[in-house]
């Protein structure tokens, strides 16, 4: 059973705090193993990657077969049924249309002191996307990671996707093709992250690594951060649904289960202003859990981390939501826009009962890589900006230097940085000579 909370109960604050701080993930400490793998790949390059792939994925590769060949990719893509191909193309098109709007503008202006200022955005040169193997090998994640990079103008886009025992997912390769990926390596784990960050004889290093992965991948990303950029260390997924009584309990139940089925550590929370509606949703969830394909996973998640919270009114719902800072937030209420205006921290908001969160996972357009574990308090979902960086620009004229140089010199002296001050003073002296 999930936890039932009532905001009018005397012990509510304590129970809600417990919900907020519950540790949902108990990652194994793989840091030493990962450090050794990274050192090995740095020292021995391809040979290390090939040995580790043999060991962990039971797959024999050579430097020549580390990547899929163009023919192999074509053959794999041809295996994708028409309906799935069409769906993937529609998704890719919609995701691209959304992300194109995120391209930021360059700027340049001259201010009243005569200083020309501005900034310019440029793409990262090369990006590597990690795509997990096995159960969590999601073609939708390929689109969500690769399309923003492509839209940003990244020149070289590569994927690492392990194929345990040589089993590959044709949809992953089709998604890669649809989103402009240049090369797909059939390697995974910490060795793939090490190869992307440091390069090998065959694998050229990249500047930025994104994409989800297991504990080994996460630890490797944390370690190579600084040498390359990374997106975020994603935690288990979560959804918060705020719903009033004018909803079908079964719709809300499957929306909650669509997070729960991802992972036993996922979390699904309902906040409602109607206790009876909350009970109906709980019943609908139990019923669906009898037949759902992934009922073992979804059931564990719902039992261990699910919650139904009854509140006095929607104002209180917004306030609690902001404390949760959910990754996904569904607002199934009459005036979803009014409620959304009160939300200050959330990765993605789904407005109204016709907008199930699953739309956002695939075809809505916005990115499905979103901040988990309350990190929506300070971070955003993946976007085109993650594959761009900004260079600031400044140009002084002699007149501008006269206007603002003396202040720079004064501050440099106050910080005991003489050369800083001199670099301004020498130029001012030259002007005074003239």
Q: Do the beta carbons of residue 129 and residue 211 sit within 8 Å?
A: yes
Q: Do the beta carbons of residue 162 and residue 192 sit within 8 Å?
A: yes
* x-marked contacts with a copy of itself along 232-251 as a string, rule CB under 8 A: -x--------------x-xx
Query: Phi/psi at 98 (nearest 5 deg)?
Result: -70, -45
Look-up of token digits 């699904």: 268
By CB under 8 A, residue 28 contacts a copy of itself: no
Nearest residue (CB) to a copy of itself, 117 versus 275: 117
Question: Is 420 marked as a binding-site residue?
Answer: yes
Among 187, 224, 228, 307, binds a copy of itself (CB under 8 A): 228
Among 226, 432, 433, 434, binds a copy of itself (CB under 8 A): 226
Among 72, 294, 303, 319, binds a copy of itself (CB under 8 A): 294
Name the segment binding a copy of itself (CB under 8 A); options: 2-10, 36-44, 193-201, 292-300: 292-300
Alpha helices by DSSP H, 203-347:
215-224, 249-260, 275-289, 295-305, 314-324, 336-340
Q: Do the beta carbons of residue 2 and residue 282 sit within 8 Å?
A: yes
User: Is 345 an active-site residue?
Assistant: no
In 10 A of CB 120, how many CB atoms?
12
Minimum CB–partner distance for residue 58 and a copy of itself (Å): 22
Question: Is 169 marked as a binding-site residue?
Answer: no
Structural tokens at position 423: 């670099």
Site residue total, a copy of itself (CB under 8 A) = 122
Q: Do the beta carbons of residue 256 and residue 241 sit within 8 Å?
A: yes
Minimum CB–partner distance for residue 51 and a copy of itself (Å): 26
Chain centroid offset of residue 348 CA? 12
Nearest residue (CB) to a copy of itself, 19 versus 61: 19
By CB under 8 A, residue 319 contacts a copy of itself: no
Among 10, 32, 62, 414, binds a copy of itself (CB under 8 A): 414
Q: Do the beta carbons of residue 332 and residue 247 sit within 8 Å?
A: yes
Which parts of 162-201 interact with a copy of itself (CB under 8 A)? 171
Question: Is 214 marked as a binding-site residue?
Answer: yes
By CB under 8 A, residue 269 contacts a copy of itself: no
Question: Is 130 marked as a binding-site residue?
Answer: yes
Beta bridge partners of 118: 108, 393
Active-site choice (238, 261, 264, 328): 328
Q: Is 380 helix (H, G, I), strand (E, B) or coil?
A: coil
Question: Is 191 marked as a binding-site residue?
Answer: yes
Integer Cα distance of 384 and 291 in angstroms: 40
Strand pairing of 116-123 and 388-395?
antiparallel
Which parts of 92-131 interact with a copy of itself (CB under 8 A)? 94, 97-98, 101-102, 104, 107, 109, 111, 113, 115-117, 119, 122, 124-125
By CB under 8 A, residue 411 contacts a copy of itself: yes
User: Is 328 an active-site residue?
Assistant: yes
Structural tokens at position 250: 């079964």
Nearest residue (CB) to a copy of itself, 189 versus 326: 326
Q: Which residues contact 321 (CB under 8 A, 6 or more apart)?
A: 240, 242, 271, 329, 343, 346
Active-site choice (238, 327, 330, 357): 327
Minimum CB–partner distance for residue 234 and a copy of itself (Å): 10
Minimum CB–partner distance for residue 265 and a copy of itself (Å): 15
Chain centroid offset of residue 337 CA? 25
* x-marked contacts with a copy of itself along 337-366 as a string, rule CB under 8 A: ---x--xxxxxxxxxx-xxxxxxxxxxxxx
Among 24, 103, 156, 389, binds a copy of itself (CB under 8 A): 389
Q: Is 241 exposed, middle or buried (0-12, 13-18, 19+ CB in 10 A)?
A: buried
Nearest residue (CB) to a copy of itself, 201 versus 415: 415
Distances (CA, A) of 426 to 156, 280, 421, 422: 44, 78, 9, 6
* x-marked contacts with a copy of itself along 137-166 as a string, rule CB under 8 A: -xxx--------------------------
Integer Cα distance of 106 and 109 in angstroms: 11
By CB under 8 A, residue 378 contacts a copy of itself: yes
Q: What is the largest CA-CA distance in the chain?
A: 88
Query: Phi/psi at 269 (nearest 5 deg)?
Result: -130, 135
Minimum CB–partner distance for residue 70 and a copy of itself (Å): 24
Question: Is 262 marked as a binding-site residue?
Answer: yes
Angle between helices 249-260 and 275-289 (to 10 degrees): 60
Q: Do the beta carbons of residue 158 and residue 126 sit within 8 Å?
A: yes
Which parts of 68-97 interact with a copy of itself (CB under 8 A)? 83-84, 86-88, 90-91, 94, 97
By CB under 8 A, residue 367 contacts a copy of itself: yes
Annotated catalytic residues are: 327-328
Residues of the binding site for substrate: 237, 259, 262, 328, 361, 415, 420
């Amino acid at each position: 059973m999930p936890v039932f909370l009532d905001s009018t109960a005397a012990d509510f604050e304590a129970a809600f705090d417990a919900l907020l701080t519950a540790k949902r993930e108990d990652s194994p400490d793989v840091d030493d193993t990962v450090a050794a793998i990274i050192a090995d790949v740095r020292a021995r390059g391809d040979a290390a990657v090939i040995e580790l792939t043999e060991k962990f994925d039971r797959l024999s590769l050579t430097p020549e077969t580390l990547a899929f060949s163009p023919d192999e990719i074509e053959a794999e893509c041809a295996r994708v049924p028409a309906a799935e191909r069409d769906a993937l193309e529609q998704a890719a098109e919609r995701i691209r249309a959304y992300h194109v709007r995120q391209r930021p503008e360059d700027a340049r202006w001259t201010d009243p002191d005569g200083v020309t200022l501005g900034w310019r955005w440029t793409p990262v040169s090369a990006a590597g996307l990690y795509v997990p193997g096995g159960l969590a090998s999601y073609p939708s994640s390929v689109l969500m990671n690769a399309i923003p990079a492509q839209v940003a103008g990244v020149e070289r886009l590569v994927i690492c996707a392990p194929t345990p025992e040589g089993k590959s997912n044709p949809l992953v390769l089709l998604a890669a093709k649809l989103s402009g990926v240049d090369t797909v390596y059939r390697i995974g784990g910490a060795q793939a992250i090490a190869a992307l960050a440091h390069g090998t004889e065959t694998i050229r290093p990249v500047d930025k690594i994104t994409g989800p992965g297991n504990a080994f991948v996460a630890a490797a990303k944390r370690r190579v951060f600084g040498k390359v950029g990374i997106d975020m260390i994603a935690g288990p997924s979560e959804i918060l649904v705020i719903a009033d009584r004018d909803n079908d309990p079964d719709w809300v139940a499957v929306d909650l289960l669509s997070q729960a089925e991802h992972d036993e550590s996922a979390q699904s929370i309902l906040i409602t202003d109607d206790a009876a509606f909350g009970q109906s949703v709980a019943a609908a969830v139990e019923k669906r859990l009898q037949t759902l394909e992934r009922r073992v996973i979804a059931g564990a998640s719902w039992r261990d981390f699910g919650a139904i919270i009854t509140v006095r009114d929607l104002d209180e719902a917004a306030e609690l939501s902001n404390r949760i800072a959910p990754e996904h937030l569904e607002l199934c209420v009459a005036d979803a826009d009014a409620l959304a205006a009160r939300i200050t921290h959330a990765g993605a908001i789904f407005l109204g009962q016709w907008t199930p969160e699953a739309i956002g996972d695939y075809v809505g357009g916005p990115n499905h890589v979103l901040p988990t574990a309350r990190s929506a308090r300070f971070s955003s979902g993946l976007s085109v900006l993650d594959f761009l960086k900004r260079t600031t620009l400044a140009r002084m004229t002699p007149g501008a230097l006269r206007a603002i140089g003396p202040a720079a010199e004064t501050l440099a002296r106050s910080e005991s940085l003489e050369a800083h001050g001199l670099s301004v003073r020498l130029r001012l002296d030259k002007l005074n000579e003239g």
